[in-house]
Amino acid sequence: MYQGKYVFAQVLEVVSRYEFNKCVARYKGNYKVTHFTCWQQFLCMCFGQLTYREGIRDIFNCLRAHDKKVYHLGIRHLVSPTTLTRANESRDWRIWRDFALHLVSVVRPLYTDNNDFQLDLENAVYALDSSTIDLCLNTFHWAKFRKSKGAVKLHTLLDLRGNIPIFIDITDGKTHDVVILDKLAFEAGAFYIVDKGYYDFSRLYTINSAKAFFVIRAKRNLRYRRLYSRKVDKGAGLKFDQTIKLTTHKSAKAYPDKLRLIKFHDREKGKTYLFLTNNFELDAITVALLYKNRWQIELFFKWIKQHLKIKKFWGHSENAVKTQIWTAVCTYLIIAILKKQLDSPLNLYNILQILSVSAFDKTPVNQLLRNTKLQYDDNSNHNQLKMFDL
């Protein structure tokens, strides 16, 4: 991998050019292109994401400052900011979506034996949620959200065994979270952890019919009839564990089978939670811990927003915004693959920090990500969320 190459070039070696070119050909991305190909565009966008650039002109200025090294990064031509902007506006965003899905297929098997997943379960465990990215409606007129505000929603299904996104959909801000359930193919035996935004009994019954399991927060005004109760360990914070049937006509028609209702008090947060699930085999505390692990998807969204934390988006059209988001996802997946290939002990966030300041170094990347000693500030705010403890 090394052979005197710059760190950025070493990182991009994990990418299959054959698979990338297949995605480009599918949407004719290089049609009538002579110099600035889709691969060159992808390299520029990855460079911007990896080095925390604030915008397209910032990418251009950084590369121009190292113009003698740019060719060795794989970027054959140092183009103007206008050229990159036009490419983002005009080239089909589905190229980057399809390539991200290919990277997902590569990275998922690498994390199937993730030892950091604390629960002793053989089943696949997924968390589904969305995150809203605010936009100015006057500029991004296509991103409908509220009367005077624009936004896009990033809907993600995260494999909690490796914190790997296996499904991503980008919609305008008005799209309700629950409709995303209609786009998923549920895996028999898998657990799907969702919050109240997906509270729809007909769709939850679809998960049940697929022989998959769900865990969801129950609403306080839930109308039900208790069939029987199980013994619980109140010392662990459990209040009750009941088998129930829904009683309101609409709910009972949408979900005619039995459900399990668990009440759990979290002493650390001082909050009490009600969980609904269609799984009757796991012990109640495991169900509560499954929902607690849903927090990993919030950390994933925080990572994405940090990489999109820029003064302005790198384009105003829907195509440009989706291109930027999908290339950010590709960057994350590339780093996830690199971590496993090099067996690095560092977590993804620390790897990104190191690579962001080492793009133009010639240090072997396996040495860089295994021997680096990080310094931590003892005065840091320990209430901040931890990032990707992989």
How would you write the pLDDT of the chain (390 residues) with one tens digit per residue?
A: 556 789 999 999 999 999 999 999 999 999 988 889 999 999 999 999 888 888 888 889 998 888 888 888 888 878 889 999 999 999 999 999 999 999 999 998 888 776 566 677 888 999 999 988 877 766 677 777 877 778 888 999 999 887 888 999 988 888 999 999 999 999 999 999 999 999 999 999 999 999 999 999 998 889 999 999 999 888 889 999 999 999 999 999 999 999 999 999 988 888 999 999 999 999 999 999 999 888 889 888 887 777 555 446 777 888 998 998 899 889 989 999 999 999 888 888 888 889 988 989 988 998 888 765 544 444 444 343 333 343
Rounded Cα distance, 105 and 159, in Å: 12
Nearest alpha-carbon partner for 12 in 64, 52, 50: 50
> 217 has which bridge partners?
275
For position 137, what pLDDT does the model report?
67
Residue 317 lies in a domain: yes
For position 3, what pLDDT does the model report?
62
Residue 231 lies in a domain: no
Residue with tokens 């809907």: 155
Residue 93 lies in a domain: yes
Nearest alpha-carbon partner for 169 in 177, 27, 161: 177
Residue 42 lies in a domain: yes
Residue 318 lies in a domain: yes
Range 212-227 burial, b when 16+ CB lie within 10 A, else e: bbbbbbbeeebebeee
Residue 376 lies in a domain: no
Measure the CA angle with vertex 343, ends 13 and 164; round to 5°: 75
Rounded Cα distance, 309 and 305, in Å: 6
Residue 28 lies in a domain: yes
For position 112, what pLDDT does the model report?
75
For position 12, what pLDDT does the model report?
93
For position 310, what pLDDT does the model report?
47
The conformational region for residue 4 under phi > 0 = left, psi -120 to 50 = alpha, else beta, is left
Q: How many separate domains does the chain show? A: 1
Tell me the torsion sign for CA atoms 83, 85, 90, 95: positive
The whole model's pTM is what? 0.82
Residue 125 lies in a domain: no
Print the domain residue range for 331: 7-97+313-371
For position 133, what pLDDT does the model report?
82
